[in-house]
Chains A and B, each alone.
Chain A
């Protein structure tokens, strides 16, 4: 459905996208996740045919997006990162206008209902809340019944309840069998919606995979953390644990893929010393932790040497 290799984009001296390889299959929901300025929108706008690329091979729906036709546009729906609505039109009119652009559009009222705006169908778009406007954006992209849908930061700036509502609408796209390319800077959003996630930092993909398999085994390992009991020193820890421990002041953190044996060793050590383990915590890192760690580790890439 989409394939890109070695995709690059420079603006003058600034290289916004520095060699991206992406492969997306039909029916897949694929998320590009990354902080602001990572190159998400640039990448998506190249795939959408809005922007020329500086280098690389790209094919979207079997065509080079730099040379697209009207036929191609009929098969693609786009929700831009920032786009207002025509305030003079009602929700239904706005959707009906866009329906007229396509050869085989979806039913207008059904599309309005799909994004949960049936109660607002006759309201002017200027009367909608931010979340409702965004859902209308999705309806405008959907009404042509596209095979491929681009959503550029569909929920940025939403409060949590509006975000959940939007997710419900976006989740239903999967049931329609659409292929979806989503950009977001919320790990939670990628996790809720995407089959596969690529984390973008400083113009490169730094990790890719299903949301629950991101990061390496150490990044995904359970963390056992505690405060050193009074009078104990990190050097006193059992040798096997000491080697793995990360020590920050008197706070110790031990990554363990299987935490039980480590805990067993640790508690016997503490019991023997009769000192206890203050602030003991056993926690699987959230995807947010993994994402932040990955994004952080690569944020400085642009300034430093080109990694090999």
Chain B
């Protein structure tokens, strides 16, 4: 029980810090919405040939995928590196706060922001673009989000090991995700992307997460919407990330 109390205590302060930081709020909350408006405006309401859906129905799950990755992987990699280099992680290590409660607070923060973004994008999609919110496939939506959030949180902790300084954090985390957004069908509908590029994107978890999430969210999905193959690959990346994080995560500044 004490552990739950401490994790909640950490989470409360992590939330305060998140919402008071203009950069976090802009990049994690505002930017995905801006992307949604831009893409929906530029690409109109045409039908996307291979998927049998219109553009906005395509972009709602695409932007939700992006928002979840941003709230987990990017948010964690940037803020943990910053706090490590500022000595805040080292200081926290010198207190009785158990590391698992520290981690729980940060992950909890990412999860809550992720869920908020799912709801926000879904509601805006429904009201502004008339994109249906799924009902029968909700279990698949929930499971896909859970697997994705697990994986991209683990990868966020793991990525900090590759970031040498506070200044390098946003550059490195963007260099990791931005190209993958382009080639995984998140920014550009995947019927426009050459087959070879897509199969390269298939090596990485972002493409599989998007595929699984699209299937779960797509109103034309016939069955329960579980894409077990994609989910398995996403989860495998998560486990790899977890192992790297356990081995390579550092509490002390690099300098």
Residues of A within 8 A of B (CB): 48-50, 70-71, 73-74, 76, 78, 80, 82-86, 88-89, 93, 97-98, 100-102, 140, 144
C-beta contact mask, B34-59 vs A, less than 8 Å → 1, else 0? 00000000000000000000000000
Whether A50 contacts B90 by the Cβ 8 Å rule is yes
Nearest-CB residue, chain A, relative to B20: A88
Whether A86 contacts B88 by the Cβ 8 Å rule is yes
Whether B96 contacts A101 by the Cβ 8 Å rule is yes
CB within 8 Å for A101 and B97 given contacts A83-B88, A88-B21, A89-B17 = yes
Distance of A71 Cα from B98 Cα, bound (Å): 11
Residues of B within 8 A of A101 (CB): 6, 95-97
Whether B17 contacts A88 by the Cβ 8 Å rule is yes
Query: Residues of B within 8 Å of A, CB-based: how many?
Result: 21
In chain B, residues 1-27, which have Cβ atoms closer than 8 Å to a Cβ of chain A? Answer: 6, 9, 13, 16-17, 20-21
The 3 A-B pairs at the shortest CB distance, nearest first, are namely A83-B87, A84-B86, A88-B20
Interface of A is mostly: loop
CB within 8 Å for A70 and B98 given contacts A83-B87, A93-B16, A101-B6 = yes
Q: Within the complex, what minimum Cβ distance (angstroms) separates B24 from chain A?
A: 9
Q: Within the complex, what minimum Cβ distance (angstroms) separates A166 from chain B?
A: 18
Interface status of B94 (Cβ within 8 A of chain A): yes
Residues of B within 8 A of A71 (CB): 96
CB within 8 Å for A80 and B16 given contacts A70-B96, A101-B6, A144-B95 = no
Whether B94 contacts A97 by the Cβ 8 Å rule is no
Residues of B within 8 A of A (CB): 6, 9, 13, 16-17, 20-21, 83, 86-88, 90-91, 93-98, 252-253
Distance of A100 Cα from B93 Cα, bound (Å): 14
Distance of A103 Cα from B93 Cα, bound (Å): 17
Residues of A within 8 A of B97 (CB): 101
Whether B87 contacts A82 by the Cβ 8 Å rule is yes
Whether B96 contacts A78 by the Cβ 8 Å rule is no
CB within 8 Å for A83 and B96 given contacts A89-B13, A89-B16, A89-B17 = no
Residues of A within 8 A of B20 (CB): 88
Q: Within the complex, what minimum Cβ distance (angstroms) separates A106 from chain B?
A: 14
Distance of A100 Cα from B97 Cα, bound (Å): 9
Whether A73 contacts B9 by the Cβ 8 Å rule is no
Distance of A98 Cα from B252 Cα, bound (Å): 19
Residues of A within 8 A of B16 (CB): 88-89, 93
Nearest-CB residue, chain B, relative to A81: B87
Partner of B87, one of A70, A80, A88: A80
Whether B6 contacts A100 by the Cβ 8 Å rule is yes
Residues of A within 8 A of B83 (CB): 86
Q: A78-B94, A100-B6 are in contact. List 12 more A-B contacts (CB 8 A).
A: A50-B94, A70-B96, A73-B96, A80-B94, A83-B86, A83-B91, A84-B87, A85-B88, A97-B13, A98-B95, A102-B95, A144-B96
Distance of A226 Cα from B43 Cα, bound (Å): 92
Whether B13 contacts A73 by the Cβ 8 Å rule is no
Distance of A89 Cα from B88 Cα, bound (Å): 13
